[in-house]
């Protein structure tokens, strides 16, 4: 639902704003107990059957935004329970990252085939004729589906000339590309964390706002407030257009400066370095050591591939992701600083919590969480004077944000190194399509290929932390790419740092 500003977005934004203000103001954090009344004022419910339920849900969202777990619903605990455990800069994400607020779940129908009021009770009854299990009968001329018999094959849906039969699915489960969402004993959504890769697609597709990931707004603000810290922002290339059509790169830089960041670095620089590494991996290992090689920059895709296809796990490139390479580069140039990755992705939060990455990336925020910080500080990006940025990233590096961009960058690099080599490329975006791609690769039909996988349909511009319509975001990103000072990643001036960053 990116690009459509709904009440779910509004509530999420207000939560982020209040959490940021809580951290900026400091003092006794127990006043978080008052925030549900500030976010949901008045005496009457606006969204659910009870204003008390609305405020209880806000309480859980506040906790998750701070990085705290949801509470045990069978025991009393204040919203501020253990809040001081999170009021520290060195707080990492505790699993699970993506959480379901159970009493916010509407118990949506899960894969139910149902006749609607559009049924005309036609003479032909094609729905009944094609049903292989005789699950359809007629009462007063209208078709009725026996749910105990129905096998969800969908043949009746295709046969109905009036489109009067539909399949009802949980929006969260439908969007989950790894089938990690099912129903608990009360009919509420439940996540199988052994399957979940924290892509966040369930989060943005739940129309009830019942799913949320944990945040680090609180900890980021504390780090920015500490005068001992020098904090840099590493901003993913998908940021283009996310903060409004009139917000230029230079205005974003000015806004970040007002928040207290010492500087802003484009993660496309790390994408350039990642490109060079992956191209070298491919040249050296395919096909001599590996039958094919898959890109590594999307952590949700890479996690899915390794979980579902463990025998092919070594075919995922070992190159560090753009986020990690950018973080290491910043810390190499500015020793002792802290780095905040700001991007479109929930899975990056999980990646940054790995022990091997914690020293490179201190905090991860989504674009939407960053907006909460701007609003907390009353920063209007449109009113700011431009502040020039010196990104020095390539067109190909910036293209990492769009599906197909990673493969294009790596292929361009390979061609520069080995002009006569022919390299076949296959790419997939969306985890279901990625899984299909890996099935074919496992069967040996993509030997010698470069595979690009992206968890989000459309690429990073469609990540769970984005706000702009995917098509608009893609167009603006493509326009932004053209402004790059050079075309191909191999020409990056930071290439000399690669050995130092490994």
Contacts of 239 (CB under 8 A, 6+ apart): 252, 342, 343, 344, 367
Please compute the mean of the pLDDT values over residues 466-494 and round it to a whole number: 93
Please compute the mean of the pLDDT values over residues 280-303 and round it to a whole number: 96
Please compute the mean of the pLDDT values over residues 347-368 and round it to a whole number: 93
Domain boundaries, the chain: 7-107+174-218, 112-168
- Average pLDDT of the chain is 94
- Give the pLDDT confidence of 400-438 residue by residue, as tens digits: 999 999 999 999 999 999 999 999 999 999 999 999 999
- Give the pLDDT confidence of 85-109 residue by residue, as tens digits: 887 777 777 889 999 999 999 999 9
Helix (H, G, I), strand (E, B) or coil at 56: helix
Q: 372, 357, 346: which is closest to 465 by C-alpha?
A: 346
Q: Is 7-107+174-218's fold the same as 112-168's?
A: yes
Instruction: Check residue 364 and give its pLDDT.
Output: 96
- Residue 377 C-alpha from the chain's centroid: 25
Give the pLDDT band (50/70/90) at residue 1.
low
Instruction: Check residue 141 and give its pLDDT.
Output: 86
pLDDT over 80 (residue 3): no
Give the pLDDT band (50/70/90) at residue 52.
very high
Instruction: Check residue 356 and give its pLDDT.
Output: 87
Dihedrals φ, ψ of 157, to 5°?
-60, -45
As to burial, measured by CB atoms within 10 angstroms (0-12 exposed, 13-18 middle, 19+ buried), residue 99 is buried
Instruction: Check residue 21 and give its pLDDT.
Output: 97
CATH class of 7-107+174-218: alpha beta
Instruction: Check residue 355 and give its pLDDT.
Output: 86
Report the helix count and the strand count for the chain, using DSSP H and E. Answer: 19, 15
Instruction: Check residue 138 and give its pLDDT.
Output: 93
Dihedrals φ, ψ of 258, to 5°?
-65, -30
pLDDT over 70 (residue 393): yes
pLDDT over 90 (residue 127): yes
- Give the pLDDT confidence of 440-470 residue by residue, as tens digits: 999 999 999 999 999 999 999 999 999 999 9
The token pair at 12 is 């999420």
pLDDT over 90 (residue 256): yes
Cis amide linkage into residue 287, ω under 30° from 0: yes
- Give the pLDDT confidence of 113-122 residue by residue, as tens digits: 999 999 999 9
User: Could you please report the per-residue DSSP string of 336-392?
Assistant: T-EEEEEES-SHHHHHHTSTTTTTT--EEEEHHHHHHHHHHTT--GGGSPP------
pLDDT over 90 (residue 210): yes
Instruction: Check residue 486 and give its pLDDT.
Output: 95
pLDDT over 80 (residue 290): yes
CATH of domain 112-168: 3.30.70.20
Alpha-carbon torsion 340, 346, 348, 349, what sign?
positive
In the chain, the percentage of residues whose pLDDT exceeds 90 is 86
pLDDT over 70 (residue 293): yes
The token pair at 324 is 């990690």
Helix (H, G, I), strand (E, B) or coil at 440: helix
Which of 28-32, 444-448, 493-497 has the least mean pLDDT? 493-497
Its pTM stands at 0.94
Which residue's structure tokens are 């960058």?
409
């Amino acid at each position: 639902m990116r690009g459509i500003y709904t009440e779910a977005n509004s509530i999420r934004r207000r939560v982020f704003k209040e959490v940021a203000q809580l951290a900026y103001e400091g003092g006794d954090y127990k006043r978080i107990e008052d925030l549900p009344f500030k976010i949901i004022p008045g005496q009457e419910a606006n969204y659910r059957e009870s204003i008390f339920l609305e405020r209880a849900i806000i309480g859980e969202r506040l906790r998750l935004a701070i990085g705290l777990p949801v509470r045990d619903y069978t025991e009393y605990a204040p919203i501020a329970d253990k809040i001081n455990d999170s009021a520290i800069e060195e707080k990492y994400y505790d699993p699970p990252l993506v959480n379901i607020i159970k009493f916010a779940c509407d118990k949506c129908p899960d894969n139910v085939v149902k006749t609607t009021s559009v049924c005309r009770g036609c003479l032909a009854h094609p729905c009944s004729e094609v049903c292989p299990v005789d699950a359809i009968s007629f009462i007063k001329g209208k078709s009725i589906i026996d749910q105990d018999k129905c096998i969800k094959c969908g043949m009746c849906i295709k046969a109905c000339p009036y489109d009067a039969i539909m399949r009802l699915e949980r929006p969260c489960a439908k969007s989950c590309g790894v089938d990690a969402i099912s129903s608990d004993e009360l009919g509420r959504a439940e996540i199988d964390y052994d399957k979940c890769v924290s892509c966040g697609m369930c989060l943005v597709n739940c129309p009830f706002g019942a799913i949320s990931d944990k945040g680090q707004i609180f900890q980021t603000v504390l780090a920015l407030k500490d005068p001992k810290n020098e904090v840099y922002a590493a901003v993913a290339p998908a940021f283009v257009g996310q903060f409004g059509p009139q917000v230029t790169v230079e205005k974003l830089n000015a806004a970040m400066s007002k928040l207290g960041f010492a500087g802003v670095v484009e993660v496309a620089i790390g994408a350039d370095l990642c490109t060079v590494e992956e191209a070298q991996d491919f040249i050296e290992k395919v096909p001599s050591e590996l039958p094919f090689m898959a890109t590594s920059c999307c952590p949700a895709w890479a996690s899915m591939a390794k979980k579902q296809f463990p025998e092919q796990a070594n075919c995922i490139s070992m190159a560090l992701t753009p986020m990690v390479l950018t973080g290491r580069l910043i810390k190499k140039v500015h020793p002792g600083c802290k780095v905040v990755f700001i991007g479109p992705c929930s899975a990056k939060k999980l990646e940054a919590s790995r022990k091997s990455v914690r020293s490179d990336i201190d905090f991860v925020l989504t674009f939407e969480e960053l907006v909460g910080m701007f609003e907390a500080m009353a920063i209007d990006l449109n009113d700011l004077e431009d502040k020039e940025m010196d990104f020095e990233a390539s067109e190909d590096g910036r293209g990492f944000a769009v599906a197909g961009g990673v493969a294009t960058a790596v292929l361009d690099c390979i061609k520069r190194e080995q002009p006569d080599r022919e390299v076949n490329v296959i790419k997939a975006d969306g985890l279901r399509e990625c899984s299909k791609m890996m099935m074919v690769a496992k069967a040996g039909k993509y030997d010698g290929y470069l595979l690009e996988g992206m968890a989000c349909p459309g690429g990073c511009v469609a990540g769970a932390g984005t706000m702009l319509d995917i098509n608009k975001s893609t167009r603006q990103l493509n326009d932004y790419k053209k402004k790059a000072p050079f075309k191909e990643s191999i020409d990056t001036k930071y290439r000399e740092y690669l050995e130092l960053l490994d």
